[in-house]
């Protein structure tokens, strides 16, 4: 059963309670089931059980083993980017900004920017990141010039409150122009009826349409997408973008990370490595990625 869930998770229906998406959110954790079964097989001294465990082990390795491989050498055209949901309840925005800048990224994408914390981020990052674009509660800080910054309409139907959680800007790097997208998709909730993700899925579809229409060849998407790269609810994005080749970088919740819902994806570029940074005043961990344009 464990091997089947790993190998054929797309077959699990999503029609009732988004069970398929719920499974895919925690899919890597099926590795713990394999560990428990391995211990049981040793306790029983069952050679048959040990041989049978080759099936789920092979399935897990096929899906996630590559994330554990060593990181390759960085190149001269690589961009370092940081993605962080800073939390609208963060009591230390200045310390958070300094911690992110210490990673030395070219781009910093932030979500849940609220006044007066926004002014603190702007002031703290201004020296090293003179170029910025903020739309609603999301923002992008850059070492390189920005142009064409605009708001993205990824608001789901039925959301009545003021809601601006997406932006697009062109980044003029020394190695060419790229499009940077910053997004914060709606939250999901797990309850007795399953996974409530319809608004997140609708917003992902709108974002996917915007990415498909992007004229620039190279695109980087940074955001709190409230979903893992395996979650079929993010298929409008993962079908168009490359995801991280190395690194698990579980980012939420910060106190005990269970899933990576903070994502860096790219088109016509490789996300060579993704890692978490030390905790800040947020309930998310920051993630840093090395992106190599093709």
Query: Could you tell me the residue ranges of all domains in the chain?
Result: 2-68, 79-293
Closest CA to 211 of 277, 141, 176, 263: 263
pTM of the model: 0.94
The partner residues of 158 in beta bridges, in order of sequence, read: none
pLDDT digits (tens, 9 = 90+) for 92-137: 999 999 999 999 999 999 999 999 999 999 999 999 999 999 999 9
pLDDT digits (tens, 9 = 90+) for 182-232: 999 999 988 777 888 999 999 999 999 999 999 999 999 999 999 999 999
Domain 79-293 has CATH 3.60.10.10: yes
Q: Render the burial of 114-143: b for 16+ CB within 10 Å, e for the rest.
A: eeebbebbbebbeeebebbbbbbbbbbbbb
Distance, CA of 58 to chain centre: 25
Number of helices and strands in the chain (H, E): 9, 13
């Amino acid at each position: 059963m464990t091997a089947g869930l790993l190998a054929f998770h797309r077959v699990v229906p999503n029609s009732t309670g988004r069970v398929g998406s719920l499974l895919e959110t925690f899919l890597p954790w099926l590795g713990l089931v394999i560990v428990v079964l391995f211990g049981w097989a040793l306790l029983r001294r069952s050679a048959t059980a040990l041989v049978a465990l080759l099936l789920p082990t092979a399935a897990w390795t096929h899906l996630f083993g590559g994330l554990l491989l060593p990181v390759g050498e960085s190149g001269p055209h690589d961009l370092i980017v940081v993605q962080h949901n800073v939390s609208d309840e963060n009591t230390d925005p200045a310390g958070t900004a300094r911690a992110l800048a210490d990673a030395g990224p070219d781009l910093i994408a932030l979500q849940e920017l609220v006044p007066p914390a926004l002014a603190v981020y702007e002031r703290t990052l201004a020296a090293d990141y003179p170029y910025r674009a903020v739309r609603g509660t999301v923002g992008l800080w850059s070492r390189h010039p920005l142009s064409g910054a605009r708001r993205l309409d990824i608001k789901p139907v039925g959301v009545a409150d003021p809601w601006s959680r997406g932006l697009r800007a062109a980044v003029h790097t020394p190695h060419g122009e790229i499009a940077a997208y910053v997004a914060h998709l709606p939250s999901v909730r797990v309850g007795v009826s399953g996974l409530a993700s319809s608004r997140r899925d609708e917003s992902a579809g709108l974002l996917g349409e915007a990415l498909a229409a992007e004229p620039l060849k190279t695109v980087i998407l940074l955001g709190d997408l409230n979903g893992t790269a395996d979650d079929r609810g993010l298929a409008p994005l993962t079908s168009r973008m490359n995801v991280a080749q190395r690194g698990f970088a579980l980012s939420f919740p910060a106190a005990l990370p269970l899933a990576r819902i903070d994502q860096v994806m790219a088109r016509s570029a490789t996300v060579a490595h993704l890692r978490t940074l030390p905790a800040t005043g947020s309930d998310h961990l920051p993630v840093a990625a090395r992106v190599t344009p093709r």
